[in-house]
Amino acid sequence: MIAFDYSAPDSLAGAVAALDEAGDDGKAIAGGTALVILMMQRLVRPSRLVSLRRIPGLDRIGPADGGIRIGALATHRDVETSPVIRERFPVLAETFRQVATLRIRNIATVGGSLAHADPNQDPPVTLMALGARVRIAGPDGERQLPLDEFFVEYYQTALRQNELIVGVELPFPAPGSGSAFIKFLPRTADDYATVAVTATLALNPDGACREARIALGSVGPTTLRAREAEALLAGERLTEPLLAAAGEAAKRIADPIADQRGSAEYKREMVGVFVRRAIRSAWSGARGANA
């Protein structure tokens, strides 16, 4: 690794100031599992590293207005094992459980995962389908962005150089909701997905879909939101033709690349398959919640 200066401020304001001062040469580090690899491979060469690990309280998972707040420094394992997340957002706990291995989940953080912006990651898929908002701190204070406006391109986000992720906020799911995360892993359990899909939906008392959110991972330059597929579901009852149409709509926005996990054509085909399965599973969960 190339030499760099390292500081570990003990406040959020101190970390933002250090990043602001470092300019384009600066980079924030939390768990380091993504950044250290990029630095060893010399793909990223910051001359100043600002550690967030000494900032107190930034790992907290707690209540927010009408939902919960997950601090940027919460580890994947913290989210996976959090009692409130297991109770209110079981699909999120399950998603984090499927990331890499326990060794990585013990140290990789929620904020680091989002800032890394690798579209192959699982957590952003479920966070997006749950309507997450990203809280961002900068020199002029705090701002928020919906997660579906946060990712820009492969490894690029809306974060400015002197901004940090403080955490994410999730609204509690509406009554009568169901959700499902499906990670298609034809190779090994710790691999990135060939396709990952999360569907969340809320049903009306008459059994028709009130609202749906569908997000896709590993099949485009960013985590994708399948809005056309979502719109097809609204107001409808679950039928085979509806599932087929939603799967086709999701396939149209997929823009996968060919790699060892499959050809682009294969991955696009699998988007259709797994979107149908995720909708069916979320629908059945929502029915159970309404019963």
What's phi and psi for 108, nearest 5 deg? -65, 135
CB of 69 to other proteins, least distance (A): 23
- Pair of tokens at residue 123: 């957590």
Structure tokens that stand for 291 in this block: 């019963």
Cα-based distances in Å from 141 to 112, 133, 135, 201, 240: 20, 16, 11, 34, 49
Smallest distance from other proteins to CB 202, Å: 32
Min dist CB 137 to other proteins, Å, is: 22
Residue (of 103, 108, 147) closest to 30 by Cα position: 108
Closer CB to other proteins, 100 or 273, in the complex? 100
Closer residue to other proteins in complex, CB, 103/237: 103
Tokens of 185: 């892993």
Residue with tokens 């990135």: 192
CB closer to other proteins, 33 vs 198: 33
- Residue 222 burial (CB count, 10 A): 22
- Shortest Å, Cβ 68 to other proteins: 23
Comparing CB distances to other proteins, the nearer of 151 and 184 is 184
- Which is closer to other proteins, CB of 40 or CB of 244? 40
SS3 180: strand
Which residue, 69 or 105, is less far from other proteins as judged by CB?
A: 105
Could you tell me the CA-to-CA distances from 98 to 32, 93, 157, 286 in Å, in that order? 19, 9, 24, 22
Q: What is the dihedral of CA 182, 186, 192, 193, to 10 degrees?
A: -30
Q: Look up residue 84 and give its two tokens.
A: 């409130």
Amino acid identity, residue 183? Answer: K
CB of 5 to other proteins, least distance (A): 7
Q: How far is the CB of 285 from other proteins (least distance, A)?
A: 23
- Minimum distance of other proteins from residue 190's CB (angstroms): 6
**Which residues make up the interface to other proteins (CB under 8 A)?**
1-6, 8, 29, 32-33, 36-37, 39-40, 49, 51, 53, 77, 100-104, 106-107, 189-190
Between 191 and 248, whose beta carbon lies closer to other proteins?
A: 191
- Which CB, 189 or 291, lies closer to other proteins? 189
Name the amino acid, one letter, at 75: T
Query: How buried is 172 (Cβ within 10 angstroms: 0-12 exposed, 13-18 middle, 19+ buried)?
Result: middle
Least distance CB 57 / other proteins (angstroms): 17
Give the containing element (helix H, strand E) for 216. strand 209-217
